[in-house]
Structures are given as structure tokens and as C-alpha cells.
Homo-oligomer: A and B are copies of this chain.
Amino acid sequence: MPNVYVAGVGMTKFGKWPDKLLVELMCEASRKAMDDAQRYDFDMIYVGSMSPEDFTDEGNIATVITGHLGLVPTPAIRVETASSTGATALDEAFLAIKSGYYKSILVIAGEKMTHLPTPKVSKILAEVIDHNERKYGATMVALAAMVTRLYMKKYPLLSREILSMVAVKNHHNALFNSYAQFHKEITIADVLKSKMIADPLRLYDCSPITDGAVAVILISEKKKVKITGIGQGTDYAGLENREELISFRSTRVAAENAYKMAGRTPKEIDVAEIHDAFTPFEIIGSEDVGFFPAGGGGKALAEGITALDGALPINPSGGLKAKGHPVGASGLAQVVEIVWQLRGEAGKRQVPDAKIGLTQSVGGLANNNLVTILEAE
């Protein structure tokens, strides 16, 4: 079975790109990855975008981007698993190389969202919520707030201050990431005085609305960074059907599969990108992938373990919170950050001696989650 290596990565700056089409952002990220890999031909293209039909009235996006890149007649497929779409695109490319049929694959992920008014964006994002819950007015942030309340009831150690520290840490990290949407140091007080969105979640607990695109090139030839484990798990879209709410089964299953494939344990991970669309999700995610015991994620954060200079830095890129969250792109952007970390190219946010990295991406309200493990050879 062939090994799967990362030959190149690229991304646009995340933020607001009112004058660019989604395909233009995707082309820019792709060309950067091609220059990074010094490869310009592929035998397959995977494209991740969560809802270009809704956000930009654009269908058939895999074909359109392939044409714009001048890569016709290369096969091209779009994949989607809500907000973990970018991770899924990588996952599919990984399997395609493992199949032995493809040797060089371009993976692209992007979303364009900021041109729409926020209520319209919220409505589109709410399409990934279970029908029964949506009809009572559920939104993503409202459901996340319920999960947070429940978590804080079971584990009172997770104070409002510690939640805020997720945002403070990730905004700090983003200062050193030129691709990040925000370059603004914030304090716990800033978070606590920001607008209430859905109690207890405030504006600064939520990732922003973002335009951006990312690309990764996978090949079967040896390179410095190797993908050693992938895992995916689902859960019921409706929270009412879940076995539990303050730990995500979809992450746990994904992590178990990824560790098993890679032959690794949580203790061996040097750096991680964890899906922090809402601040409590970073805490829950860090527990679900096995870094900390259930209820222990907040304490680890408060002790500085997950800070850039801690024992296990989480979200050195700034995370979805401060780097930005173009929904279909975020899962792949996490991978790009880990690649830079493993190649020692992360500049002022470099985690020293990072050899094994992990990404965890959340689809919808944690119902289609992926974990990927990458290693420097």
C-alpha cells in the first residue's frame, strides 16, 4: 500500500474578499500549493466547499475550478460534510492514493461568506441542523450554548473566565500568522464585555464569518511530511438523539481510528489544531482526542499547557476563532498549519521540535468529525 506524503500547501489570507469570486480564491491557494510543491499536473482533484450553491449560487464547483486552473480533463470531485468538509477532502485524497490508482492529487477547499448579511449566513449554516430542531428556531450558536451550559453544570471548574482564555490564547497566536483574519490582542475583559449571542456564549466566543481558500498536494513519493492516520465518525444531527452532549462521540470515534491507523497515542502528539468554532469546542475537543481527561480541558488551558510555549500547543495558527472560519475550508487549513509546523516553517508561532501533529475538525454541531495525524519523517 503506497504511503501518502504532503508535497505542497498554500492558502489565501483569510478575511473579507468582496472583490474576489470563490473560484479566484481557490485558484490563488492552488497556485501557491503548486509553487510550493513544484508540481503542476495531477491525476485527481478533490474540492471541498460546504455550500457554494447557497453562499454564491455556484454549483458544479469541482469542475469549474478545474477549468479555471487549466487542468481539464483531470477528474475532479467535490465532497461535503458540513463544516468538516476541508478535512474530508483530504481524507478522500488519502484513500485515493492508498488505492494505488492515483499518485498526485490536488486538494482544494474554500468558502466565500462575507458578502452576505449575517442573518442570511446564519440561515445557511442552520441548514446543517436537524429538521426537528431547526423548526423550533435552533441556530448553531444556540445549540452550542446549550452544550456549554450542560458542560459547565457537570464540570463547574470550567468557569466563564477559562472559556474566555480560549479566545485570548488564539487571538494571541494569530498575531504571528499573516494569513489570519484578526491581528488583535484581546483580554479576558474584552471577551466578557463583548455582545451576548446565546447565553453563556458571547461574540468573542464565536469564530467569525470568513472568506478564504486552502490547497494541499498529496503524492505517493517520499517527502518530509507524511499522513499516518485518518479517522472519521458521525453522530445524530439532532442533539435530542445523542447518547451524550458534553463529549462528542463523533470525535472520539474519529480519534480512535486515526490513532489506530497511525499506531500513535495522544501522548505522542506535539502540536494540534482543534476545531474552535465556539470557545468551549476547543476544550471539549482537546478532551475527546485524548489529550486531557473529561472535564480536564479547561484546567490544562488555564495552566498554560495548550499555549504556544506550553507542553502541547493547541491552535498555534490562531484557530478558527482568530484565523477565521470559511466553513468548508477550515478542516484543510488546520492541516496546512500542521504541515508548516512539521516543516519548521511557522515563524514566530513555531512549536519547537514538532514531529507529530494532529488536526480535529467538527462537521455541523459535532455530527461528522474527522481527526488527521501527520508526522515529520
Contact = CB atoms under 8 A, between A and B. Distances in A.
A130 B64 contact: yes
A261 to B, nearest CB: 8
A74 B364 contact: no
B128 A75 contact: no
A236 B78 contact: no
Interface core residue of A76, A101, A128, A237 (most chain B CB under 10 Å): A237
A42 to B, nearest CB: 12
A363 B63 contact: yes
A60 interface: yes
Given A77-B88, A99-B99, A237 B127 contact: no
Interface in A119-154: 124, 127-128, 130-131
Interface string A237-268: 11001000000011001100000010000000
Interface core residue of A54, A59, A254 (most chain B CB under 10 Å): A59
Interface residues of A, number: 58
B82 A59 contact: yes
Interface of A: 1, 21, 50-51, 53-54, 57-60, 62-64, 66-67, 71-82, 88, 91-92, 95-96, 98-101, 124, 127-128, 130-131, 232-238, 241, 249-250, 253-254, 261, 363-364, 367-368
Given A60-B81, A99-B99, 12 more contacts: A53-B124, A59-B127, A62-B234, A63-B237, A63-B367, A73-B234, A73-B235, A74-B234, A76-B368, A77-B79, A92-B92, A98-B101
11 contacts: A54-B59, A58-B131, A60-B368, A62-B81, A63-B234, A63-B367, A64-B237, A67-B130, A75-B234, A92-B92, A95-B96
